[in-house]
Amino acid sequence: MTNTWQNVTQHDTLSLTKAARLKFRLPIEGAPMQNSPEYPVVTSQTLSLDDLQPAHHYKNCTLTYSNTDVRLSELILDHCVLQQTNFRQGEWLDCQVSHCQFPNADFSGSHVYRCQFEACQLIGTDWTMSRLKQVTFTDSQASYCNFSETELDQCHFVSTRLEEAAFQAMTVRNSLTFTDCQLVAADFSDSALKRVDFRTSTIDDLRFTPALVRGCRIDAVQALPFALALGVEID
């Protein structure tokens, strides 16, 4: 076997080829979703985001604009329509959000702790410069979203589409896990991949910085396209 580096520096950004179309079925590390707490249910109402009360379950509601930065805690939002798309500098604590749509919404600079997003439309959302801790995204559409320069601490993406998503210059605390996700052409340039687990996801054309790849978790088969992307010739 001959391994040869070809025109690759450690600080180049590289892309995995189409040969990297891989899917794996490994156990999920930790349950992604918890049972919903028994909150009083508010159904089919039109309310301002400012009117939402902690420890309530809002179902099939229309949520109009907030007059201030959004601060939500201990809520369940279930099949709600959110008219607002600007959530910049917001705060989401202990919330469960299910079957809601946030296309192209701006969450930049936000703090999101212990929240769960399930079956949500998140295409094109902007999470730059945010801090997410113990946040789970499950069965969601999140292609083209931007997590660049975001701090991700114990976050999980489960069965979520993340095609061409940006994770550039992100910071990972403790762990970041992608389980059965579609990461086709996702960009991890300038991000340290230590404590990132890709093993069960599809990673075609994944972009990364070679000097920062050490410590990520990949399947043994996945190692081949990683090596090819790094310029190694394997005979």
pLDDT, tens digit (0-9, with 9 covering 90-100), for 9-60: 444 555 554 333 333 333 333 333 456 678 999 999 999 999 999 999 999 9
The total number of structural domains in the chain stands at 1
Asked if 109 contacts 127 with a C-beta cutoff of 8 angstroms, the reply is no
Give the amino acid at 65. Y
Asked if residue 224 belongs to a domain, the reply is yes
User: For 56-109, what is each residue's pLDDT tens digit?
Assistant: 999 999 999 999 999 999 999 999 999 999 999 999 999 999 999 999 999 999
Neighbours of 83 (CB within 10 A): 11
Q: What is the CATH number of the domain that holds 186?
A: 2.160.20.80
Q: How confident is the model at residue 226 (pLDDT cuts 50, 70, 90)?
A: confident
Give the domain extent around 182. Answer: 14-24+38-229
Longest dimension (CA), the chain: 67
Asked if residue 3 belongs to a domain, the reply is no
Whole-prediction pTM: 0.84
Asked if residue 54 belongs to a domain, the reply is yes
Residue 208 and residue 189: Cα distance in Å, rounded? Answer: 4
Residues 6+ apart with CB under 8 A from 3: 227, 232, 233, 234
Asked if residue 178 belongs to a domain, the reply is yes
Asked if residue 100 belongs to a domain, the reply is yes
Please tell me the number of Cα atoms within 13 Å of 115 on its side-chain side.
23
Residue 54 and residue 93: Cα distance in Å, rounded? Answer: 10
To the nearest whole percent, how much of the chain has pLDDT over 70? 84
The pLDDT of residue 134 is above 70:
yes
Residue 128 and residue 167: Cα distance in Å, rounded? Answer: 9
Residue 74 and residue 55: Cα distance in Å, rounded? Answer: 5
When mean pLDDT is compared across 31-35, 88-92, 134-138, 203-207, the lowest value belongs to: 31-35
Neighbours of 169 (CB within 10 A): 17
Asked if residue 9 belongs to a domain, the reply is no
- Bridge partners (DSSP) listed for residue 14: 208
Question: Hey, is 7 helix, strand or coil?
Answer: coil
Asked if residue 69 belongs to a domain, the reply is yes
Asked if residue 93 belongs to a domain, the reply is yes
pLDDT of res. 1:
41
Q: Which helix (DSSP H) or strand (DSSP E) does residue 226 occupy?
A: helix 223-229
pLDDT of res. 35:
61
